[in-house]
Amino acid sequence: MPILEIRNLFIEVEGKPILKGINLTVAEGETIILFGPNGVGKSSLFMAIMGFPKYKIKKGQIIFKGTDITHLPASDRARMGIGMSFQRPPSIKGIKLNGLSEIINSDKDNGDRIDYYSKMLKLDQHLKRDINLGFSGGEVKRSEIFQLLLQNPLLSLIDEPESGVDVENISILGKAIKRLLHKEDRLTKRRNSGIIITHTGLILNYLNADMGYMLIDGCLTCSGNAREIFELIQKQGYRECQNCLKKK
């Protein structure tokens, strides 16, 4: 059984149609990469999978582990095993990163995880600060992956983890995401899956993806080897992809 199955999904944001008939299947343990030009709706797809009402599902279904979650609230989806690293998360005054970490970690029996993962992502000094408030761009990205590691979801939606991050920190993030997606485990034991959005492709230097997809004009086109698709975009840009789409 696939971990995630999206069937003919149509999404509208503020009355504007964004996604027009998405079909996507993610298998257990699979890592896929999502490409596409700015503003095409990649983040919107994540928001819809996570369950944010602003991203209105006009048609279609989202199936997670065989259950139709199309109309479930985000918190239920999170508890079932979906997690998201935001491209631009909000900052929240008065709630400490530590406080949120403890809530996320409360259903795990191991309290040391907060300590361990915060050190791994160089965030131990940030735990006592308000969530994301005044965090630098790179710190925000590390904090998102840190929270995902605590959550340890079956399906991680990772939105541009390496945008605006320096070389050293990309390496930290790359290793953390590898851990998150069970990349060290053998294929047969690998349970966690992930969808990663990237423009730079740098994350591919740290982990192997099973598949790549291209989102253009509200539809998923061009599936294939992630690295090959990335190289194609580097060479030709998205314009060629659009032309290719027209020919089809």
Partner 1 sequence: MSELLKKEIKKRDRAKMLNVGFDVEEKQRSASYTLLNDQEIGPRTSSRAIELLSIGRALEKYPEFMKKFLWKLVKGNKDEYTQSVVNARPVGYFIRVKPGHKAILPLQSCFYIKAERFKQEVHNLIVMEEGSSLNVINGCASADYVNAGVHIGVTEIYIKKNAYLSYTMIHDWSEEVEVRPRTGIFVDDHATFVSNYISIKGSKITQSYPTCHLKGKDSSGVFNSLIYAPENSVYDIGARVILDGRDSRAEVVSRSISGGGQVIARGELIGNKKSIRAHLECSGMLLNNKGSITAIPILEAHHPEVDMSHEASVGKIAEEEIYYLMSRGISEEEAISLIVRGFLDTKILGLPPAIEKEVEKTINMLDHSF
Question: Using CB distances below 5 to 8 A depending on partner kind, what does residue 169 bind out of partner 1, ligand ATP, Mg ion, none?
Answer: none
Contact 135, 143 (CB under 8 A): yes
161/141 Cα distance (integer angstroms)? 6
Task: Using alpha carbons, select from 55, 247, 26, 245 the residue that is nearest to residue 157.
Answer: 26
CA dist., res. 16 & res. 168, Å (int) = 39
CB of 13 to partner 1, least distance (A): 14
Of 19 and 211, which CB lies nearer to ligand ATP in the complex structure? 19
Give the footprint of Mg ion on this chain (CB under 5 A).
43, 87
Give 42 or 182: the residue with its C-beta nearer to ligand ATP: 42
For residue 175, give the nearest of 151, 219, 142, 131 by alpha carbon.
142
- If residue 162 lies in a helix (H) or strand (E), which one and from where to where? none
- From Mg ion, ligand ATP, partner 1, none, interface partner of 89 (C-beta below 5 to 8 A by class): partner 1
**Residues near partner 1 (CB under 8 A):** 50-52, 54, 73-75, 77-79, 83-84, 86, 89-90, 92-95, 99-100, 103-104, 130, 147, 151
Q: Closest separation between CB of residue 96 and partner 1, Å?
A: 9
- Describe the strand order of the beta sheet including 193-197 as a list of residue ranges: 82-85, 155-159, 193-197, 31-35, 211-216, 219-224
In this structure, the chain runs to a length of 248
Least Å distance between CB 157 and ligand ATP?
A: 12
Other CB atoms closer than 10 Å to residue 228's CB: what's the count? 11
Partner from ligand ATP, Mg ion, partner 1, none binding residue 112, C-beta < 5-8 Å depending on class: none
Nearer to ligand ATP, 123 or 233 (CB): 233
Q: What are phi and psi of 84, to 5 degrees?
A: -140, 140
* Residue placing its CB nearer to Mg ion in the complex, 43 or 101: 43
Among residues 31, 44, 85, 152, which is the contact residue for ligand ATP, using CB under 6 A? 44
Residue 198 as a binder of ligand ATP (CB under 6 A): the answer is no
Per the DSSP assignment, residues forming a β-bridge with 157 are 84, 195
Residues 76-135 that bind ligand ATP (CB under 6 A): 87
Taking the CA atoms of residue 160, residue 165, residue 169 and residue 171 in that order, the dihedral angle to the nearest 10 degrees is 50
57 binds ligand ATP (CB under 6 A): no
**Is the CB of 131 or the CB of 209 nearer to partner 1?**
131
Residue 240 CB, shortest distance to partner 1, in Å, is 35
| Number of CB atoms found within 10 A of residue 104's CB | 20
Residues near ligand ATP, by CB under 6 A: 13-14, 18, 36, 38-44, 54, 87
